[in-house]
Chains A and B, each alone.
Chain A
């Protein structure tokens, strides 16, 4: 696996992880029992696995790619999570929120694109 594909896979898996977590805790919000009850949710386990693999891939990528190249790409995660949330969670995103997400992504890209 090339460092670049490890980086992209990390970003996409990390984005899916947030969607899985939302699925898991939303279902569990109906049942009480706190954090331990979350362990019964397959979505929460899926989140944990994706989060772990994404972190490992991120470290693999970082060991071979410059930070100033890797971090700006990380900002695409905000857009990916937003897109996934409209598809899989049916979240409605207003133009104001899209604008906010794009501005934040731009800010991250500028922050880490400039050494």
Chain B
């Protein structure tokens, strides 16, 4: 199996074998999946924490901590965040970190939109401006994407 990979060192974007998930996905899918899952995870964690706060009962700190940690949305959010981290590892194995890491700024855009649509959080004009600047920056980053692997 190892020799197969070594024979094609430049084709890590293709599955080298059936048992290598870190190399099985196109990097675009892995990177965007990682960002989307991290955002979804954050929103679910927020939902779980909100539910926990509303449902909290007067009692000991330990009881309240358990009540918070056992929220289904929180557990689901952490799980989804974990899967997103695996996809992130997959993406990092194939592209320069100086290209991939700034892409994670899209998290802020997606989470802001999620907050708006899901929790009815208001987005001020200044914040919209910031979101627009981030999107322009990601577009510029995309222009620099052909320069390396």
Contact = CB atoms under 8 A, between A and B. Distances in A.
Interface residues of B, number: 48
Please indicate which of the listed interface residues B19, B126, B127, B133 has the most CB atoms of chain A within 10 Å of its own CB: B133
B116 interface: no
A33 B138 CA distance: 33
Given A35-B21, A92-B148, A110-B133, A97 B93 contact: no
A106 B89 CA distance: 26
B55 interface: no
Contact of B22 (A25, A86, A106, A108): A25
Contacts of B97: 18-19, 21-22, 81, 85, 89, 91
11 contacts: A32-B2, A32-B17, A91-B96, A91-B148, A96-B143, A96-B147, A99-B140, A100-B138, A100-B141, A101-B98, A115-B126
Contacts, number: 156
Given A85-B98, A103-B136, 4 more contacts: A103-B133, A104-B105, A107-B136, A110-B130
Interface of A: 18-19, 21-22, 25-26, 28-35, 38, 75, 77-78, 81-82, 85-86, 89, 91-94, 96-97, 99-115
A99 B147 CA distance: 14
A81 B105 contact: no
A32 B16 contact: yes
B147 A104 contact: no
B140 A34 contact: no
B20 interface: yes
The 4 closest A-B pairs by CB, nearest first: A114-B126, A111-B130, A107-B133, A107-B134
B129 interface: yes
Contacts of A21: 89, 92, 97
A62 B112 CA distance: 18
Given A29-B93, A35-B21, A101 B129 contact: no
